[in-house]
A and B are shown apart, each in its own frame.
Chain A
Amino acid sequence: MKSTSGDSTTINISESRNKTVAKGETPYVRIQAAHPMHDQKGGWKKGISIFDFILRLGATAAALGAAIAMGSSEQTLPFFTQFFQFQASYDDLPTFMFFVIGMGIVGAYLVLSLPFSIVTIVRPHAVAPRLLLLIFDTLALTLNTSCAASAAAIVYLAHNGNSDANWLAICQQFGDFCQQSSGAVVSAFVAVVIFVILILLSASALRKV
């Protein structure tokens, strides 16, 4: 009979011969043998978990930076003309509001996922935390990409305008506002790339080999 628990394998040997052992008692001999797979691959999974944690810190900085940069973008022109507004802020465009709220949610999720990442470092072979992180990372990736792409479409419009729809390029007037919102969009896309790498790491570390 062989039972496997954790890292050791116990082999029970029952004595068939009658020795000085009392009747009904069976001596057990425990042979401690480390599970060969765990020793070899534990370090590899732990390395992935540490890299995952570092990347997660980077993604948190990128996501929160994007939200703050867009949220604090506001510019008031010192002059005003007949046809153009002289003040631009992120809440003038609903897409930018969606961007700020969405990146805030993604940043908050990343902060909350840091403990789970630490758990995967401490216990490299546990499947549940990694699977949970992968599922929520996928959802967060979707939200992040959605916010970043829609804000990018508006920023593109602000830079170039559209002659067919008679949409003017507001970047000509609001240079600082444009720069800050463009930088926020770039930071959000950096977070998207980091999320894709995080998902790949979690998927490759989920294998039982």
Chain B
Amino acid sequence: MKAGGAVDATDKEASKPIPIPKVRVSRVLSVLDFTLRVVAALGTLASAIAMGTSRETLPFTAQFVRFRARYKDLPTLTFFVIANSIVCVYLVLSLPLSFVHIIWTAAKNSRIVLIISDTVMMGLLTAGASAAAAIVYLAHYGNSSTNWFAFCRQFNSFCERISGSLIGSFVAITVLVLLIIMSSVAISRR
């Protein structure tokens, strides 16, 4: 038994490994959060523009098939463009708040506000992208049971355009999921 408990304490603390300072991990998470937000904003912007400018006019006219295709012809694709635009604007507006988190890593309530809005926007974006994906799948394959014709056979470049515009949206969904997880880890570390 040693005299005085202070000697015991310093011996124990000296044998422990030095932990990474909490501020540094939080700062790395915040910088990563900011970068991913920029990536997601670019993805949704690209998707909205690609779908919004999709238009094809066939040089000939067939008997039963329309000869012009636009995204406005299908309400689901319109919803896709609107959802991507809303999420893009939200992500750009949330960049300053994310930047503040890099500087002020002890923020708690603002991170929770960010998680709430990120979750709602992720739900909206996933809804838009999944609905558009269902319509694009129908456009490629049609459905024999319901007599729905696959119009990709006629409108090749329109079809390619709307299929490719889904990619940016799904990348943004993945990024938003990562952002929510990172923000929650950052909250739990304080």
Given known A-B contacts A24-B1, A147-B130, A200-B116, A142 and B122 have beta carbons under 8 A apart: yes
Other-chain contact of B130, A94, A150, A208 (Cβ < 8 Å): A150
Number of residue pairs spanning A and B whose beta carbons lie under 8 angstroms apart:
150
B49 on the A face (CB < 8 A)? no
Other-chain contact of A142, B76, B115, B128, B173 (Cβ < 8 Å): B173
Contacting pair B74 A207 (CB below 8 A): no
Contacting pair B146 A170 (CB below 8 A): yes
Closest chain-B Cβ to A132's Cβ sits at a distance in Å of 10
B61 on the A face (CB < 8 A)? no
Interface residue count on the B side (C-beta < 8 Å): 54
For the residues of A in contact with B, the DSSP-based class is helix
Contacting pair B130 A134 (CB below 8 A): no
Interface footprint category on A: 35 or more
Given known A-B contacts A165-B74, A200-B115, A207-B112, A141 and B134 have beta carbons under 8 A apart: no
Contacting pair B74 A92 (CB below 8 A): no
27 cross-chain CB contacts under 8 A: A3-B9, A14-B4, A14-B5, A25-B1, A94-B141, A95-B134, A131-B185, A135-B184, A142-B173, A145-B123, A145-B127, A149-B130, A150-B133, A151-B134, A152-B131, A153-B135, A157-B135, A157-B138, A158-B146, A166-B149, A167-B148, A196-B123, A199-B180, A200-B115, A200-B119, A203-B115, A208-B190
Ranked nearest first, the 4 interchain pairs of A and B with the lowest CB-CB distance are A153-B131, A92-B145, A150-B134, A149-B127
